[in-house]
Amino acid sequence: MVNEQLEMMFGYDRAEILGKKVEILIPARFSRHSEQSREYFGCPGRRSMGREVELYALRRDGSEFPVEVSLSPLETAGGTIVSAVVRDNTERKRAKEDIQRLNEALEAKIEQRTRELSDAQEELLRREKLNMLGIVAANVGNELRNPLGVMNNAVYYLSTMLADADESVGEYLEIIGKEIEGAQRVLSDFIDFFRATPPRAREVPVDELISQSLAACDVPGNVTVSVEVPEALPVKVDPSQMRQVFRNLIVNAAQAMPEGGALRICARLVPGYEAQETGPGESNLEPPGSVEISVADSGAGIPSENVEKVFQPLFSTKARGLGLGLSISKSFTESNGGRIEVESGVGKGTTFTVALPVGRREP
């Protein structure tokens, strides 16, 4: 027997299917069906198939669709016959897949929100630390600067007075002087970070900024420095702030190569837009581009999980320092209308790129 629903489901006319083997309704890959049929007739009973393991049926046009099959044996005078109820599971399968997708999307959303909450909590803790440090910087900064200045002057005086003393005395005085300079640098970073000073921009040649920044840094002798900066390439920035940025980058690069290496500083002009007419007697004078200055080292590089954190306040992988140098560099660069980026990888060295605006052209 074949009902009308089965005809519609499989695409056969009743005359085409009556008397045929049931295998015409089963995809070829389910080739064990004949064997399973014999097993079923050996021990007939009510059975449902297609719930635990997906079953597929084969339409007249060769397309397949998921089904659930319920078998019921009927005893007749002529022997046992089997009634099969076939349910098209296409919609159920689609609904199940939709639910699965929604569950996965929900899990991803929950994971994302959890990460965001964790990041927000970390940011809150950082802000609390910064607020406390800001209070300390305001109250203690100047109190420490004066004694350090006195100590520095005393070292200079002693080195002058004891110029003819034992060589070891001069070496110790030099060590003391460097330690004082280091403490002054940390203190300056500390105070500058919390003191937002607006930039006083003026045109200054990039080669002048770089040469002055290098002169203020104590680069070890085992680090080879190469500078490729065109002459007369001006940027419009606050020279004092940007010198501090480049000093920070140069010192970081040198410290990244304790066993020696190569420090390379390059600059290039990146063209911008031409002036565009906006109306009678008016013009939109865009800057002629920007200047990109890169500071690259051949050190061990920064692990990928730390690259995005290097500009965060108080983040540092060094045993000494507050982790404010790069935060200050980012703040100064952006307040001067520029941007700073980092590219690094373990074993590949690190490159910091600073893009600064070229002054507007006069109409």
63 in any annotated domain = yes
Secondary structure string (H, E, C) spanning 213-225: HHHCCCCCCCEEE
Same domain? 352 vs 299: yes
Q: Is 88 helix (H, G, I), strand (E, B) or coil?
A: strand
Same domain? 141 vs 263: no
351 in any annotated domain = yes
278 in any annotated domain = no
Same domain? 133 vs 170: yes
12 in any annotated domain = yes
CA distances to 18, 193, 216, 253, 320 from 189, rounded to whole Å, are 91, 6, 15, 17, 13
- pLDDT, residue 20, reads 78
The amino acid sitting at 164 is D
Taking alpha carbons only, the member of 307, 297, 211 closest to residue 253 is: 297
Same domain? 154 vs 238: no
- 80 pLDDT tier (thresholds 50, 70, 90): low
The DSSP 8-state label assigned to residue 363 in this structure reads: -
Give the contacts of 123 (CB within 8 A, at least 6 positions apart): none
- Which CATH number covers residue 100? 1.10.287
Q: What is the pLDDT of residues 287-297, one digit of tens each?
A: 467 899 999 99
**How many domains would you assign to the chain?**
3
> Domain range spanning residue 60?
4-88
Same domain? 105 vs 245: no
Query: Which DSSP string corresponds to 31-64?
Result: TTHHHHHHHHHHS---EEESSSS-EEEE-TTS-E
Q: What is the pTM of this model?
A: 0.54
Q: What is the pLDDT of residues 250-281, one digit of tens each?
A: 999 999 999 999 999 999 998 864 434 444 44
- Which CATH number covers residue 9? 3.30.450.20
Q: Is 347 helix (H, G, I), strand (E, B) or coil?
A: coil
228 in any annotated domain = yes
The amino acid sitting at 34 is S
Taking alpha carbons only, the member of 248, 342, 250, 249 closest to residue 301 is: 342
| Average pLDDT score over residue span 59-86 | 77
133 in any annotated domain = yes
Report the alpha-carbon distance of residue 212 to residue 230 in Å, rounded: 15
